[in-house]
Structure 1
Amino acid sequence: MSHSIREISRHSSIYRGFIITRRPKTVISKITRYEITLGEQSFGLFDAQAQTIGYIDELHNQKGKAA
């Protein structure tokens, strides 16, 4: 089953229930980063949106194996 990423605001998207927030590059942070959150829990920062999707898919696969 394929899942799609849906933009919910200028800097945020939702994928499989997780929020992916794009943090644009700044003078201090020279690259755009992506943060994954689910509710109040953060799953860290990633260098590419594709990495966030892969990580979320991995979490779902682990959840399916544990059930």
Structure 2
Amino acid sequence: MDKQGHLIKTPQELLIEPAPRKVTIREYPSPDYQRRWQIEKEQREQAQNSIKPKPRRKRGRKFRSR
């Protein structure tokens, strides 16, 4: 046990019995919730990979090569 009182398992113990895993909300709800979650996830990914316009060409004295 450490100072906080948590049991610390050695790597050998973890191989025999892994640490308890936190169950997320998405693991046990109804299938339609999971489907809705999947659709939302896909929409989020598409929003991140959105098509961006080409960056504007920088003009002016500041950007001219010497």
TM above 0.5: no
Q: State which structure, 1 or 2, has the greater radius of gyration over its C-alpha atoms.
A: 2
User: If each structure's strand is expressed as a fraction of its own residues, which one has the higher value?
Assistant: 1
- Aligning the two structures, in what range does the TM-score lie when normalised by the shorter sequence? 0.3 to 0.5
Q: TM-score, normalising length from structure 1?
A: 0.33
Q: TM-score, normalising length from structure 2?
A: 0.34
Higher relative contact order (CA 8 A, sep 6+): 1
